[in-house]
Amino acid sequence: MSHIQIQNLNKHYVDQRRLPRSEEDIRSERTIQVLDDINLEFQDGEMVCILGPSGCGKSTMLRMIAGFEHPSSGQVLINNEVVTKPRADSIFVFQHSGLLPWMTVWENVELGLRHLTDLEKKNKTIREYIEMVDLGRFGNHFPHQLSGGMLRRAELARALAVNPDTLIMDEPFSGLDFLTHMKVREEVVNMHEFIKKTTLVVTHDIDDALIMGDRVIVMSGRPSHVKLEHKLDFGRPRDLGSNPELRALRDEIFFMLGVSYAI
């Protein structure tokens, strides 16, 4: 179970590019305010998609939820406990190129199951996850032998096998061609329907957010605050073309992100 609360979260970094040249510079602020008083809550089992302009602090926020970085002020709570350090058992950060190249797909998925001593159960679990992402015949392939989409699906199987309470995905479809992007997205949606883990997805693609999320969050440019939170109470699979409500929301978000003519 994983219930996440973000309370009055602020983050600033020292601006490394602006070197102090005078006494005045040293006294003046050389910090970049990235996040500005963020308050959010993610319910157990919810899939929330987070949109926002590039550089607004989405990855920074995810890193703080995962405990890799500390807030400047405010806090993140998971199940009412303040996050102070990474907790590999409960949160999995999905990232591409996360597979070890010298291990097969099977061995990579097995990595997350080292704690299982019952070999039969372990093998059954590995097989299940590999089959879930449709890679049943590729268990003994190495990452370099897989296509981009297969690789991303293998990474997904590896993430799921860990059975984390929370899955964090930062731009999970980046670098995929259009059709592969669609297919892997479908895979993630199916996976979510099936396992119902708390899943946070950062994406720059508005359609991804509207098709996948139980809720969508739009953040502003830096210093970033929450500009929009919208529940997406629609069944899946969703078709943006035939849903006027989603269509209108899509236009609104495009506009919010600075594009006046949604395509």
Ligand X SMILES: Nc1ncnc2c1ncn2[C@@H]1O[C@H](COP(=O)(O)OP(=O)(O)O)[C@@H](O)[C@H]1O
- What is the binding site for ligand X (CB under 6 A)? 13, 34, 52, 54-60
Other beta carbons less than 10 A from residue 215's beta carbon: 18
In angstroms, the Cα distances linking 44 to 32, 165, 166, 177, 249 are: 33, 8, 9, 32, 25
Rounded distance between C-alpha atoms, residue 99 and residue 105, angstroms: 8
Residue 59 beta carbon to ligand X: minimum distance, rounded to whole angstroms: 3
Name which of 123 and 220 has its Cβ closer to Mg ion: 220
Nearest to 200 by CA among 212, 184, 187: 212
Name which of 248 and 259 has its Cβ closer to ligand X: 259
Rounded distance between C-alpha atoms, residue 153 and residue 74, angstroms: 36
Angle CA 128–131–134, to nearest 5: 160
Residue with the CB atom nearest Mg ion in the bound state: 59
Does position 75 bind Mg ion by CB under 5 A? Answer: no
Name which of 150 and 206 has its Cβ closer to ligand X: 206
Does position 220 bind Mg ion by CB under 5 A? Answer: no
Say how many residues touch Mg ion, by CB under 5 A: 1
The interface partner of residue 117, options being ligand X, Mg ion, none and the CB cut-off 5 to 8 Å by kind, is none
Name which of 54 and 242 has its Cβ closer to ligand X: 54
**Binding stretches for Mg ion (CB under 5 A):** 59
